[in-house]
Amino acid sequence: MTGHTQQVSEFCSGLDLADVPDHVVRRVQTALIDSVGCGIFGSTLPWSQTLLSGVQSFAGSGRAVVLGSAATLPPDTAALVNGAFIHSFEFDDLQRDSFIHPGSSVVPPVLAYVDHSATPIRGEDVLAALVTGYEVEIRAGLCAGLGLLRQGFHNSAVVGPIGAAAAMARVLRLPPDKANQCLGAAATQAGGLISAQFGAMFKRFHPGRAAQSGFYAGLLVDAGFTGINDVFDQSYGGYPATMTSDYDLDELTTGLGREYRAGSVGFKMFPSSASCYTTIQACLWAHQEAGVRPGQVEAVRIHCSTATAEHCGWPYKPDSVTTAQMNLLYCGAAALTDGVVDNSRFTDGRIGDPAIVELAGRFEVVTDPEIDAGGRTLRHKVRAEFVLRDGRTLTRELDAAYGFGGEPVSDTDIRDKFLRNAAPVLGGQNEALYQLLSDVRDLDDARVLTAAVTGRAQPSGPSTTRQAND
């Protein structure tokens, strides 16, 4: 039988967008829109500017564009920076069951290659590469499972290079044998510790480094620099066997090419870890509908999965914006205090608010074996108990999070989010860019798109898109 790696390689080489269900293509196109918006907003943040300034000091300039910036970089460096920008504010897409943010690792290398390529890349090939990368990365994340996170790895850092390499294999039109090596070349670069979430700017860097690793894998293998063969099938030194014992290779290939996982990617409406979402929603309910205010609260008990407790349920101490975004207690306390969770709740001035910090100290996180028994599908489930000083206890239970199996995010929600995120950089051009991204499949030359994401050029024009009757 053909090995798992070779089956994935043949999928990467052979994907035809016409064979992909329309709803999957639309979902990935929406993910492109969302990722670009997150990256443009990310370009305005101080840690993003620190990263860009740092890499410019040694990488020099190039012809690959940077989201939301007038800077240009060598393509590998642009892939890194754009991936970090997309992931810079915990606002980028997520596939719940695989624990990964595919947009921040899959979109940047494809955009970088559009600027690097000596010949124009059509929008249809961009979209085909993104579908390939999303599908393979999500499947690799499902294969590796929760064991990566429990082991102390950052899943997006470890799985992201695989998705980036798959996208590169498709946009480069690598044959199956080279796509196999491309996946192995990316897998050997995989790494990233989840402890980066405790204040380090490098948490933002991880998906960008994954994007860069996939870019290297594609271009170097295409040039003849050989990668590991059959990396998924090797037990000693293979991927993911080296990083976790809790994996399932069948997740890679069952229904591959017939059943698409890429259509299940979710989108964020709160700029925080998705593992905090159900707690945020419960606290918003308490504030908005039950009329609970912080002064009435004796304690808040959050019953949740062990994965959620370990990932986000640690005692809150003001440190960095990253720490606050990843901390369930801060996010819940902010929601219960303000009745809203938006970008303004995650600033250097806000995350140390004494009233919110004190309220976070009244939160208790309790792991629940029954929730754990529900597996990855119920990993976001919470039962929130609001113990009030008048003797009442109010309870709110949520099985799944907003945008991730719970209440769905609409196309209008994504459009509004994109326009808000892009406006600080693009101003009135944000509407035109949204339309261009919505029409990406019709582009004859995707460099029209890469020029537009910087805000330095007006998007679209009759000579750059195919007419409907072409």
What pTM value is reported for the model?
0.94
- CA dist 429 and 91 (Å) reads 21
- CA dist 341 and 354 (Å) reads 17
pLDDT at 456: 64
Q: In which residue are the tokens 């979402």 written?
A: 277
Residue 182 in contact with residue 227, Cβ under 8 Å? yes
Chunked into runs of 10 residues, the chain (470 residues) has average pLDDT values of: 92 97 98 98 97 97 97 98 98 95 98 98 98 98 91 96 98 98 98 92 96 98 98 96 95 98 97 97 98 98 96 95 96 98 95 98 98 93 98 98 95 97 95 98 97 68 34
- CA dist 404 and 401 (Å) reads 5
Structure tokens at 268: 């964020």
Span between the terminal Cα atoms of the chain, in Å? 42
Strands 382-388 and 297-304: antiparallel
pLDDT at 435: 98
pLDDT at 1: 58
Structure tokens at 94: 């997520």
3-state secondary structure at position 345: helix
- CA dist 267 and 31 (Å) reads 8
pLDDT at 192: 96
Number of Cβ within a 10 Å radius of residue 407: 13
pLDDT at 325: 96
Architecture of domain 274-398: 2-Layer Sandwich (3.30)
Task: List, by residue range, all CATH 1.10.4100.10 domains of the chain.
Answer: 4-264
Bridge-partner residues for 153, per DSSP? 193
- CA dist 460 and 149 (Å) reads 42
What topology does CATH give the domain 4-264? Answer: 2-methylcitrate dehydratase PrpD (1.10.4100)
Query: Cis ω on the peptide bond leading into residue 240 (within 30° of 0)?
Result: yes
Structure tokens at 155: 């899943």
- CA dist 135 and 143 (Å) reads 12
Distance of CA 160 to the CA centre of its chain: 9
Task: List, by residue range, all CATH 3.30.1330.120 domains of the chain.
Answer: 274-398
State the DSSP string of 174-227.
Answer: --HHHHHHHHHHHHTT---BGGGGTT-THHHHHHHHHHHHHHHHHHHHHTT---
Closest to 337 in 3D by CA, of 359, 314, 316, 304: 359
Residues with Cβ < 8 Å from 6, sequence gap 6 or more?
Answer: 176, 180, 230
pLDDT at 463: 34
pLDDT at 376: 87
